[in-house]
Amino acid sequence: MRKIRTGDQVLITSGRNKGQQGTVRVNLIDRDRIVVEGVNIVKKHIKRGRARQAGIVEVEAAFHVSNARLICPNCTQPTRVGIRPDAEGKNERYCKKCEQTVPRPEA
Residues near Zn ion, by CB under 5 A: 72, 74-75, 95, 97-98
Tell which residue, 36, 49, 101, has the closest CA to residue 75. 101
Cα–Cα distance, 23 to 25 (Å, whole number): 6
Please, which residue, 35 or 71, has the CB nearer to Zn ion? 71
Please, which residue, 13 or 74, has the CB nearer to Zn ion? 74
Q: What is the DSSP letter of 105?
A: P
A 10 A CB-CB count for 74 gives 15
Which amino acid is it at 78? P
CB of 82 to Zn ion, least distance (A): 11
Please, which residue, 38 or 103, has the CB nearer to Zn ion? 103
CB of 69 to Zn ion, least distance (A): 12
